[in-house]
């Protein structure tokens, strides 16, 4: 053992010894006092005490405090027993032997209880009460054998050994049964104090019981000839057993038992009747104590078990309600409805609380199975009925259908259910889950539309690129010219797509589009851009972008942007009402090289002149005066979303 462990061991021992000593002294004093009371009433001819509450003190303390109190309790019991016997007519050897018998009895009873019922023993179960009675019987029977032998050897050789054993067994058993539960109840109250209202009620009941017991003791026995005095106490005992912890019932039993012992010891009240022998009176008193104790303990245990079961039931119901609430929250969060119905009964369908939210019902509105079927979309009704016919217990079936809510809105529902059939094969019950998948269906529809739109746009882009490649190749004399021209035109298409992607294909501002196309050639003085805010659709953006690109390319190669002194002006305006507005874009070049007529028309000029009319239904007026090119473009804005041939026209034109 290392020094730290040695110090800890010494410190623990030093602090434990005073506690053991104090407990031994306390147990010895209480045990001695109880023994003195018991020795006042001895049985003849053996002189054995007929009531021994001290046995209940030692056994109760050991059961309540556990094995750590064995040394203190055994020591206190042996010292108290020895002193109590020596003050009487016993010799040292007999007193010492009786001390071992009493200590062994308490140790055996406590060991049996701990062995079969655990260290935290209480009387709140009928099984525990029966266990305490059995432990008391075994322990007192075993100690009675030793006590009878000791008594015959050291005190009265002529005393009948069977009578001595019987008196010892009865007195110690009654002592344990009446006093040990009180000690156990007090220890339990210290560990877990009762609520204030229960404490007040229990104390009041014990005071009433004590007062009633005193009244019964003080009144002469004649009035009680037709009524047993103990029977009058049972209403109070039942009240205590039903309303309070078993510890209060143990206190009530102790009060009644103490009163009975007191009256028979001093020959007063009911047990003062001298017409009966002392043995019969003692037997009657012991029987009365046992009857009161057993009935009270049994009632207290039964009521305690009932309270425990009620508390467990309340906790179970509370947990069930909480689980139900969590389930309803989960169903509501997932837009899922649980249901159960009998299709053949025609009665209402049992549904979860969120059914009104999913089915669009009022707070108190319900739907029978027939009413539910009536609201299924006609195109889905046959499939839904076939789903119910095909459902079985082993494999759940799933069906998707449309449901018409009372407000007329259409909801998509997905039902997964199991069907139950009777022995004749008749459908008797359907239960399962119904999920609102309206949003999912809307998302799928939107996704399909996006896929179709993407497919359409990719085809258009590829068709346009193919047309640009073919026409550009025809007009170029060398590969370098072809690559340069093709790259510029594809970049123009790509630029339009970049702008559209940035706006999520919701439209592109005309000013930004023109500025983007002119950016590679713009200086502080060679370009002028002006006009109101105008948003172009995706079709308009692609067409206008290609036209502006060709104008910019032509100006950079042959026009104003090819000269340091050249200038390009791009202006636009919107005229007319919203229903018939016209967007006019004017391209004007000045300061460039003089233009000599006639101007040869190639693919680029053809695209400028013909793309807008074919795709957007507009007009293009392209002129080449000697001082610079001029192009006027008019686009009917009301056609931006309404032209059924706009997209297809562009593909046809490229072809």
pLDDT one-digit tens code per residue, 482-501:
666 666 667 666 666 666 66
> Do 235 and 137 share a domain, yes or no?
no
Residue 350's SS3 state is strand
> Do 550 and 526 share a domain, yes or no?
yes
Domain closes at, from 193, 220, 237 = 193
Q: The pTM is what?
A: 0.58
> Do 180 and 209 share a domain, yes or no?
no
> Do 49 and 175 share a domain, yes or no?
yes
Give the residue numbers spanning the domain of 166.
1-193
Supply the DSSP symbol for 87.
Answer: T
Domain closes at, from 174, 193, 212 = 193
From residue 37, alpha-carbon distances to 27, 73, 284, 382 in Å are: 16, 20, 19, 93
Cβ–Cβ contacts within 10 Å for residue 574, how many?
A: 16
- How high is the pLDDT of residue 358? 83
Question: What's the domain count of the chain?
Answer: 4
- How high is the pLDDT of residue 12? 43
CA dist 55 and 46 (Å) reads 19
CA dist 644 and 497 (Å) reads 22
pLDDT bin (cut points 50, 70, 90) of residue 371 is confident
Q: Report residue 419: phi and psi, to 5°.
A: -115, 145
Residues present in the chain in total: 655
Token pair for 617:
């239904």
Residue 154's SS3 state is helix
Token pair for 606:
């053809």
CA dist 343 and 340 (Å) reads 10
- How high is the pLDDT of residue 586? 94
Domain closes at, from 393, 413, 436 = 436
pLDDT tens digits along 562-576: 888 899 999 999 887
Which position has the higher pLDDT, 524 or 401? 401
CA dist 653 and 655 (Å) reads 5
> Do 131 and 84 share a domain, yes or no?
yes
> Do 559 and 608 share a domain, yes or no?
yes
CA dist 603 and 586 (Å) reads 21
- Torsion angle, alpha carbons of 214, 220, 224, 230, to 10: 30
Nearest CA among 98, 103, 105 for reference residue 83: 98
CA dist 647 and 616 (Å) reads 9
Whole-number percent of the chain with pLDDT over 90: 15
* Residues in contact with 391: Cβ distance below 8 Å, sequence separation at least 6, in sequence order: 397, 417, 418, 419, 430
> Do 320 and 339 share a domain, yes or no?
no
> Do 576 and 644 share a domain, yes or no?
yes
CATH number, domain of 455, equals: 3.30.565.10
> Do 465 and 410 share a domain, yes or no?
no
- CB–CB of 397/417 below 8 Å? yes
> Do 550 and 590 share a domain, yes or no?
yes
Token pair for 123:
């009387």
CA dist 604 and 622 (Å) reads 12
> Do 322 and 412 share a domain, yes or no?
no
pLDDT at 116 over 70: yes
CATH number, domain of 416, equals: 3.30.450.20
pLDDT at 302 over 90: yes
> Do 313 and 424 share a domain, yes or no?
no
């Amino acid at each position: 053992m290392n020094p730290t462990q040695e110090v800890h061991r010494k410190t623990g021992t030093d602090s434990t010894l005073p506690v053991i000593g104090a407990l031994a002294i306390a147990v010895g004093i209480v045990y001695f006092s109880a023994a003195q009371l018991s020795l006042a009433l001895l049985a003849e001819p053996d002189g054995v005490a007929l009531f021994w509450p001290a046995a209940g003190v030692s056994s109760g303390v050991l059961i309540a405090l556990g094995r750590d109190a064995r040394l203190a309790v055994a020591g206190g019991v042996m010292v108290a027993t020895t002193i109590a016997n020596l003050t009487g007519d016993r010799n040292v050897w007999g007193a010492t032997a009786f001390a071992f018998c009493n200590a062994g009895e308490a140790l055996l009873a406590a060991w049996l209880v701990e062995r079969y019922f655990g260290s935290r023993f209480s009387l709140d179960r009928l099984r525990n009460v029966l266990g305490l009675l059995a432990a008391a019987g075994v322990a007192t029977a075993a100690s009675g054998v030793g006590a009878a032998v000791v008594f015959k050897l050291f005190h009265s050789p002529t005393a009948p050994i069977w009578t001595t054993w019987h008196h010892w067994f009865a007195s110690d058993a009654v002592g344990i049964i009446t006093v040990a539960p009180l000690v156990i109840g007090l220890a339990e109250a210290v560990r877990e104090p009762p609520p204030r209202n229960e404490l007040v009620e229990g104390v009041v009941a014990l005071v009433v019981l004590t007062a009633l017991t005193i009244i019964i003791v003080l009144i002469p026995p004649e009035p009680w000839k037709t009524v047993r005095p103990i029977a009058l106490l049972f209403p109070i005992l039942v009240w205590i057993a039903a309303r309070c912890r078993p510890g209060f019932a143990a206190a009530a039993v102790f009060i009644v038992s103490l009163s009975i012992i007191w009256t028979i010891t001093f020959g007063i009240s009911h047990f003062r009747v001298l017409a009966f022998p002392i043995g019969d009176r003692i037997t009657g008193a012991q029987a009365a104590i046992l009857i009161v104790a057993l009935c009270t303990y049994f009632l207290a245990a039964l009521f305690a078990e009932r309270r425990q079961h009620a508390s467990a039931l309340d906790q179970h119901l509370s947990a069930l309600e909480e689980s139900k609430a969590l389930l309803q929250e989960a169903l509501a969060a997932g837009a899922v409805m649980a249901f159960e119905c009998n299709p053949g009964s025609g009665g209402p369908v049992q549904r979860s609380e969120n059914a009104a939210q999913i089915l669009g019902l009022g707070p108190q509105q319900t739907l029978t199975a027939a009413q539910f079927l009536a609201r299924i979309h006609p195109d889905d009704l046959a499939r839904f009925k076939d789903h119910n016919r095909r459902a079985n217990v082993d494999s759940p079936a799933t069906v998707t259908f449309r449901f018409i809510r009372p407000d007329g809105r259409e909801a998509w529902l997905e039902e997964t259910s199991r069907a139950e059939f009777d022995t004749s094969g008749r459908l008797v019950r359907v239960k399962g889950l119904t999920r609102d998948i309206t949003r999912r269906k809307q998302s799928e529809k939107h996704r399909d539309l996006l896929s179709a739109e993407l497919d359409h746009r990719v085809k258009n882009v590829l068709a346009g690129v193919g047309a640009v490649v073919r026409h550009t190749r025809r007009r170029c004399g060398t590969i370098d010219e072809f690559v340069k021209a093709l790259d510029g035109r594809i970049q123009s298409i790509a630029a339009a797509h970049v702008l559209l992607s940035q706006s999520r294909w919701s439209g592109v501002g005309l000013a930004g589009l023109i500025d983007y196309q002119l950016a590679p050639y713009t200086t502080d003085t060679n370009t002028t851009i002006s006009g109101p805010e105008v948003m172009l659709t995706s079709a308009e953006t692609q067409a206008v972008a290609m036209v502006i690109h060709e104008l910019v390319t032509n100006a950079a190669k042959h026009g104003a942007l090819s000269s340091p002194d050249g200038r390009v002006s791009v202006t636009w305006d919107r005229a007319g009402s919203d229903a018939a507005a016209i967007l006019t874009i004017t391209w004007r070049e000045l300061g460039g090289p003089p233009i000599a007529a006639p101007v040869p028309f190639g693919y680029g000029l053809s695209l400028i002149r013909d793309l807008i009319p074919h795709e957007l239904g507009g007009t293009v007026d392209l002129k080449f005066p000697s001082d610079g090119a001029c192009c006027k473009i008019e686009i009917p804005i009301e056609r931006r979303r309404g032209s059924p041939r706009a997209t297809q026209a562009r593909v046809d034109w490229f072809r």
